[in-house]
Amino acid sequence: MSHFLSDTRALTTRWLIHMKRDSASMMLGLFQPLLWLFLFGGLMRGFVGQAGLAASFGNVDYLTFYTAGVLAFTMLTNAVMGGLPIVFDMEFGFIDKVLSSPVSRSSIVVSRFVYVTLYSLLQAFFVLACAFLMGARFQGGVEWPLVLLGIAGFGALLAAGMTALSLALAFAAPSHTLFFSVIAFLLTPFLFVSSAFVPLSKLPEGPIRFVATWNPLTHAIDPIRALMCGEQAVGGDPSYVFHCVSLAVFDLLAIALSVAVIKRRLD
Amino acid sequence: MAELALEVKELVKVYDPKKRGKHAGTGPVRALDGLSLEVREGELLGVLGPNGAGKTTAMRTIATLVRPTSGTVKIAGVDVEREPDRARMLLGYVSQEIALDRLLTVREHLVLAARLHRLTSSEARKRADEVLALVRLEEKADVRSRKLSGGMKKRVELGMGLVHHPKLLVLDEPTVGLDLDSRRALWDFLQGLKASGTGVLLATHSIEEAERLSDKVAIVDRGRVQRVGAPAELKAETKGDVLEVVLEGALPDDGFLEEAKKLEGARAVTRTRDGFEVATDEGARTFASLAALLTARGRAARSITYRKPTLEDVFLRVAGREFREEPV
Ligand SMILES: Nc1ncnc2c1ncn2[C@@H]1O[C@H](COP(=O)(O)OP(=O)(O)O)[C@@H](O)[C@H]1O
Ligand SMILES: [Mg+2]
């Protein structure tokens, strides 16, 4: 355990150096979720009002409703891209230096998670600040420090499992092209078959709603949304504990899978 | 007698043909076929073999990056299969390709390597300073790796392999792609390293490199050690002489070499840049029949000289083909 912590710190240091030195990508990444917020959020906000759909969203302001989705989706995107440096480490052979050392295999996964979470929180608060300037307001009646804590907590729970899956993919995919293709293929359905844009109860019944119910993204969005907008935005009791446990189970499975894939990678 | 830094017994590696990736669809490849090696502390063992001999596979298996099909590897007495992490503490590995993180400085690389081997932050910083001096990169300590020359990058790699004071340093073709000066500098460095008691396993396909650096050379072909011994020993074992023939004009394409193989006492004939070489057990008789053949064919030789066998000839003898030929 003591090794695990110091190993994780050593590896995380490397990712933080990357963040500092590759500032151009960092800045672009920081602004990326704002596009979602401005373009789709701005568009839908007017539409929801004009079309008299407000009741479908529990009569909360759509921008605030949707910001919860953007926050969770931002963390998801960072997390699924979390394996990318490892893909390049494998292509260029840097990973051999890591794997021929006694460094704990799970600390490889966890160091990426720590980095992704730190970066995501930075982004999340940036998004929140912009949404606030656009007129979004917390309207769930929950104290704001608690809302922020909830966003960070559920975001981190989502990021943990998703980063682990991304690492499993990184270690299993033979090239970065396949890595990108798989993510590009899965990311859009992941986003749309969730409660990001409309509440779960308003999704078409059948396979779509079924998948959305199981989508980890939904389990992060709903509690964040309930904290930001109030219970009516998720159609009733938000059951924080249930979402928390669901995400934790998902995390454990994903981490076990990725560590197994790393260990199996030895030909 | 010095302790064993490395003991490899009967290593076999069969690559799985079903796996995807760049070697997909090649069928099962028996890259190692019962390879055994020993390296003592302070000793440099050169693993000499042509491309495809299985050198990289052997190095990667010893470095715990490839799981052997069968056989055992012990690093300073620690079995890599049973106690991988303890073995990894005792091992430094420098891969064939340079693979540095372009955003990290030289010092950051060394500290990271030390930290990956469980040194504390402050120890790691101290060791990094030591190693910077050792590989003579103090001036470049805070320069990012992508701004370094090839030779400097290789020195960073070497430093990363040494920063935790391993008992065994594994080097896979360390001078491939380096210019002559960097190559010489690396050779000097490795000579010095042996004095510190580190065992070094060095894979190379350069006969010159193997000859210059190795206390012992293991000649590897088709995944097996074919001969092992000090370079001088190996050459002495290989009896006979080599006749070097330099021709006037180009070597004819009319089966001349085929006929040369039938010369009295000739064991093997190889084409050279401006003629050919005949390995023989009976120099004088071969020489006489060679002169006769040249006369019969109306060819003139610019020179015919005797020389003692080199490691290249040793390889030719044990592998039954030229060093640069691909195995069939
Ligand atoms: N990952 C792999 N999958 C399948 N075959 C491989 C793999 N790596 C090497 N080989 C094959 O194993 C043999 C030995 O290769 P290698 O160990 O790289 O030799 P060397 O380093 O001496 O050139 C070659 O035939 C090579 O094609
Ligand atoms: Mg090789």
Count of domains in chain A? 1
Residues B226 and B278 occupy one common structural domain:
no
Residues B195 and B253 occupy one common structural domain:
no
Mean pLDDT of A105-117: 91
Residues with CB under 6 A from ligand 1: A 267; B 15, 23, 29, 31, 49, 51-57
Residue B198 covered by a domain: yes
B84 CB neighbours in chain A (<8 A) are: 102
Separate counts of helices (H) and strands (E) for chain B: 11, 14
Q: Pick from A138, A136, A122, A124: which is nearest to A226 by CA?
A: A138
**Residue type for A38, please?**
F
Residue B168 covered by a domain: yes
Number of the ligand closest to the Cα of B29: 1
The neighbour count for residue B82, using CB atoms within 10 Å, is 10
Instruction: List the domain range (segments joined by +) for residue B261.
Output: 239-308
Give chain B's radius of gyration (CA, Å): 23
Distance CA A128, CA A134 (A): 10
Residue B245 covered by a domain: yes
- Are the C-beta atoms of residues B67 and B226 closer than 8 Å to each other? no
Residue B265 covered by a domain: yes
CATH number at residue B295: 3.30.70
Distance CA A120, CA A124 (A): 6
Residues B17 and B127 occupy one common structural domain:
yes
CA distance between the termini of chain B: 41
Instruction: List the domain range (segments joined by +) for residue A214.
Output: 2-266
- Quote the pLDDT of residue B327: 52
Give the model's confidence band at A168: pLDDT under 50 very low, under 70 low, under 90 confident, else very high. Answer: very high
Residues B210 and B262 occupy one common structural domain:
no
Residue nearest to atom 18 of ligand 1 (CA): B56
B99 touches chain A (CB under 8 A): yes
Count of domains in chain B? 2
CA-CA-CA-CA dihedral for A195, A198, A200, A205, to nearest 10: -120
Is-above-0.90 flag for pTM? Answer: no
Residues B156 and B92 occupy one common structural domain:
yes
- Are the C-beta atoms of residues B205 and B52 closer than 8 Å to each other? no
Residue B10 covered by a domain: yes
- Quote the pLDDT of residue B281: 80
Distance CA B85, CA A11 (A): 17
Ligand 1 centre from B218 Cα, in Å? 18
A96 CB neighbours in chain B (<8 A) are: 60, 63, 65, 93, 95, 99
Distance CA A88, CA B135 (A): 27
- Are the C-beta atoms of residues A217 and A158 closer than 8 Å to each other? yes
| pLDDT tens per residue across span A42-88 | 777 777 777 777 777 777 778 888 888 888 888 899 999 999 999 99
Residue B174 covered by a domain: yes
Residues B105 and B13 occupy one common structural domain:
yes
Instruction: Dihedral sign for Cα B69, B23, A259, B168, please.
Output: positive
Residues B173 and B251 occupy one common structural domain:
no
* Partner residues linked to B271 by β-bridges: B276
Residues B163 and B274 occupy one common structural domain:
no
Residue B125 covered by a domain: yes
Q: Which of B191, B213, B235 is the last residue of a domain?
A: B235
Residue B318 covered by a domain: no
Q: Pick from B285, B284, B286: which is nearest to B276 by CA?
A: B286
Residues B163 and B255 occupy one common structural domain:
no
Instruction: Tell me the ipTM for this assembly.
Output: 0.87
Residues B192 and B261 occupy one common structural domain:
no
- Quote the pLDDT of residue A33: 86
**pLDDT above 90 coverage of chain A, percent:** 45
Distance CA A151, CA B318 (A): 69
Distance CA B38, CA B58 (A): 13
Q: Pick from B27, B142, B2, B141: which is nearest to B77 by CA?
A: B2
The dihedrals phi and psi of A103, each to the nearest 5 degrees, come to -55, 140
* Partner residues linked to B203 by β-bridges: B47, B172
Tens digit of each residue's pLDDT, chain B (328 residues):
578 999 999 999 999 766 555 566 667 899 999 999 999 999 999 999 998 999 999 999 999 999 999 999 999 999 999 999 999 999 999 999 999 999 999 999 999 999 999 999 999 999 999 999 999 999 999 999 999 999 999 999 999 999 999 999 999 999 988 888 888 988 988 988 888 889 999 999 988 899 999 999 999 999 999 999 999 888 887 777 888 888 887 777 778 888 888 888 888 888 888 888 888 888 788 888 888 888 888 888 888 888 888 888 888 777 777 776 655 5
CATH number at residue B58: 3.40.50.300
